Amino acid sequence: MPDTVDRRYRSFDFDGFLVHLVEDPEVRERDLRENTLTMWFEGEGQTRVILPEDVQKYPPLPGQPVVAEEDKYGLRSLIETLLGLEFDDHWIHTVVFSALRHDMFKGSRP
């Protein structure tokens, strides 16, 4: 399904699932500021805020090249960038998981 936007949600496929990004301007601004991702979970009937540490499953390893702080991504800003560039589900998944493996999300560490 292509990226679709209504007043409340921006919906797109991620890893085979349809996910809904909350579009409320205040929520969006907070997401961008705090590097979070606020999503509507249809099955749960509720909104949840995804934090960088919630998604980070790959701890940095000794000797792993460190990505410069200015090269790291905010969660929402990366997703919006990828959607803006019209990447498909496969590519969104590829970029996000590459970013996770290389510890590239701002705020994923204390």
Partner 1 sequence: MIEETSGDYTAEDLANRAELLRSIRGDGLEIGAFHSPIPVGEDARVTYVDLLPPEIQQRYFPEVPEDVPVVTPDLVLPADDLHSIAEGALDFVLASHLLEHIANPVGALVEWHRVLRTGGFLYLVLPDMRHTFDRDRVRTTLDHLVLDAQQDRAHPDRLARDAEHYREWAGIVNSLDDPGQRDFWAGHLVKIQYPIHFHCWQPEDIRDLFHEIDKIGMAHFRICGEAVMKGGYEFVFLLQKV
Residues in contact with partner 1 by CB under 8 A are 58, 61-65, 67-68, 71, 81-82, 85-87, 91, 94-95, 97-99, 101-102, 104
CB of 93 to partner 1, least distance (A): 11
Give whichever of 21 and 82 is closer to partner 1, judged by the CB atom: 82
- Cβ contact 79:36 at 8 Å: no
CB of 40 to partner 1, least distance (A): 26
Residue with tokens 């996770």: 100
- 40-70: burial string, b at 16+ Cβ within 10 Å, e else: beeeeeeeeeebbeebbeeeeeeeeeeeeee
CB of 88 to partner 1, least distance (A): 10
